[in-house]
Amino acid sequence: QVQLVESGGGLVQPGGYLRLSCAASGSDFRISAMGWYRQAPGKQRELVATITSAGRTNYADSVKGRFTISRDYTKNTGNLQMDSLKPEDTAVYYCNTFDVVTSKLNWGQGTQVTVSS
């Protein structure tokens, strides 16, 4: 019902920035919460940030003050602005949404973010 496609990943130097986007498409869906997760090699997938249908946001302690999550309800897209990037931010970033029509989570295929000099 919902297909998610992430974009915007890439290679940046420490202190740099990236803006990730998540585009949702399909039919007969209604997204409530939207979030971003990331997974580095050898590590568990961790929550990065979430935003509710009411616009409330939450962030992992490791990214507070540096990342900003947002949504465009008209375009059914989500964004994650990442500033002051650190090498430890290197991971595959996944977009996820909860569809209230099907009552299930949907995941994108992920986009690679690499922070290195």
Residue 100: pLDDT above 90? yes
Measured from the Cβ of residue 10, the count of other Cβ atoms closer than 10 Å reads 13
pLDDT reported for residue 3: 95
Q: SS3 string of the chain?
A: CEEEEEECCEEECCCCCEEEEEEEEECCCCEEEEEEEEECCCCCCEEEEEECCCCCEEECCCCCCCEEEEEECCCCEEEEEECCCCHHHCEEEEEEEEECCCCEEEECCCEEEEECC
Q: Residue 100 corresponds to which amino acid?
A: V
pLDDT one-digit tens code per residue, 57-69: 999 999 999 999 9
Residue 24: pLDDT above 90? yes
Query: Six-digit token pair at 44?
Result: 């568990």
pLDDT reported for residue 42: 94
Answer for the pair 106, 2: CB distance below 8 angstroms, yes or no.
Answer: yes
**Mean pLDDT, rounded, of the chain:** 96
